[in-house]
């Protein structure tokens, strides 16, 4: 095993890279385990119009590339591998990647969350061409248009409410006859005159060649199918935090999110957390970046106290 690192950051979305910038500037010589698919959810986004500092907007991949360059400018080091397992019962902590065993005095977990998809071929083909999982990121492109939101939970209601302010018509498609979302959000959506609900229906296919033109639904009770024209479809069936490798090592909640206390602390002293892996509520690049900064300050203080 190599000598122990002061700080290992796992994840390379806005949270992990911001932690890298702050930690490198703070003299911690951080190592970022960036993952095989580096850059987080923004890599799958097109125009980002709400990240401060880019008055004309910026493409998601370009934004991530810029933040990474900024971290590299201060000599943050990167490994383009996934973490396979961790052992937080040891001190220093042990982290196994696909080819290496690393050790660290402190760790920042910033592995993010991934939007869940329906798993349809047509959905994958049209992703970024009318299929999205983020109304705040992409809703603007559907101003005055007709869209579908799939799902019956809090996320779907929030997405529908947000889109109702921009779109001509929003149709929520839910697979059962009862919403899972909290009552207040259900009522909010039902109060919008341009939002309709279609019950007991699953998406069979997203229609269109180069862009979304419609959707094919199947009624789960009768088996009947229907097609109608839309310009966009937002899949809001939940997010999955990327914490499989953390099971048994750290406290996770029922949905698998890292349980957080005092802003960035986890159940393991010396292991900090930032971004969507512990946040199902805000889930914005800018909030994740802020959390990455906070986690670094807390890791720095922990290292100081270790001396
Ligand atoms: P969720 O509560 O798990 O709801 C997912 C919804 O998608 C459910 O209605 C589910 O249907 C549906 N669904 C799942 N898989 C599907 C599939 N393959 N095909 C069609 N529909 C499918 O997820 P979430 O709404 O993202 O919420 C996650 C957590 O974040 C929750 O704890 C929620 O309270 C929290 N959250 C809170 C807020 C807030 O403003 N307070 C906002 C967003 C999220 P069924 O109902 O039939 O299972």
Give residue-wise pLDDT tens across range 59-110.
Answer: 888 999 999 999 999 999 999 999 999 999 999 999 999 999 999 999 999 9
Q: Are 279 and 171 in the same domain? A: no
What pLDDT score does 44 carry?
66
- Containing structural domain, residue 269: 5-114+239-306
Question: Which CATH number characterizes residue 169's domain?
Answer: 3.50.50.60
Give residue-wise pLDDT tens across range 198-216.
Answer: 999 999 999 999 999 999 9
Bridge partners for 96 per DSSP:
85, 101
Q: Are 143 and 230 in the same domain? A: yes
The domain boundary residue, chosen from 188, 220, 235: 235
Distance, in Å, from the CA atom of 252 to the CA atom of 227, rounded to the nearest integer, reads 41
138 close to ligand 1 (CB < 6 Angstrom):
no
Catalytic sites, residue numbers: 134, 137-138
Q: Give whole-number Cα distances, 277 to 122, 125, 300, in Å.
A: 28, 27, 21
Q: Are 101 and 247 in the same domain? A: yes
180 close to ligand 1 (CB < 6 Angstrom):
yes
Q: Are 24 and 170 in the same domain? A: no
Bridge partners for 214 per DSSP:
207, 229
- Which residue would you say has higher pLDDT here, 72 or 284? 72
Q: Are 140 and 52 in the same domain? A: no
Query: What is the distance in A from the centroid of ligand 1 to the CA of 291?
Result: 24
Q: Are 55 and 201 in the same domain? A: no
The count of structural domains within the chain is: 2
237 close to ligand 1 (CB < 6 Angstrom):
yes
The domain boundary residue, chosen from 235, 250, 279: 235
Give residue-wise pLDDT tens across range 6-65.
Answer: 999 999 999 999 999 999 999 999 999 999 888 887 876 667 888 999 999 998 889 999
What pLDDT score does 224 carry?
98
**pTM of the shown model:** 0.77
Mutate to test the pocket of ligand 1, among 161, 237, 253 (most ligand atoms within 8 A of CB): 237
The domain boundary residue, chosen from 179, 202, 235: 235
């Amino acid at each position: 095993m190599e000598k122990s690192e002061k700080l290992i950051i796992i994840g390379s979305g806005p949270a992990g890279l911001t932690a890298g910038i702050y930690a490198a500037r703070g003299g911690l010589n951080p190592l970022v385990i960036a993952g095989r698919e580096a850059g987080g959810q923004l890599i799958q986004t097109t125009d980002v119009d709400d990240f401060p500092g880019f008055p004309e907007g910026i493409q998601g991949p370009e934004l991530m590339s810029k933040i990474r360059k900024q971290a590299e400018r201060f000599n943050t080091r990167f490994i383009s591998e996934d973490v396979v397992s961790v052992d937080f019962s040891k001190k220093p902590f042990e982290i196994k990647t696909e080819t290496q065993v690393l050790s660290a005095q402190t760790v920042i977990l910033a592995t993010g969350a991934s939007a869940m998809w329906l798993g349809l071929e047509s959905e994958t083909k049209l992703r970024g061409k009318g299929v999205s999982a983020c109304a705040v990121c992409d809703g603007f492109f559907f101003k005055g248009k007709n869209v579908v939101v799939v799902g019956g939970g809090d996320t779907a209601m929030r997405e529908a409410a947000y889109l109702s302010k921009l779109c001509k018509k929003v149709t929520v498609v839910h697979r059962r006859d009862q919403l899972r979302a909290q009552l207040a959000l259900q009522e909010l959506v039902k109060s919008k005159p341009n939002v309709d609900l279609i019950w007991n229906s699953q998406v069979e296919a997203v229609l269109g060649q180069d862009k979304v033109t419609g959707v094919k639904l199947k009624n789960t009770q009768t088996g009947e199918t229907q097609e109608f024209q839309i310009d966009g479809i937002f899949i809001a069936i939940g997010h999955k935090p990327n914490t499989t490798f953390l099971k048994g090592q750290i406290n996770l909640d029922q949905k698998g999110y890292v349980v957080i206390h005092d802003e960035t602390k986890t159940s393991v002293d010396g292991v900090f957390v930032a971004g969507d892996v512990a946040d199902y509520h805000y889930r914005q690049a800018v909030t994740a970046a802020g959390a990455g900064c906070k986690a670094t300050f807390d890791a720095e203080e922990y290292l100081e106290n270790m001396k």
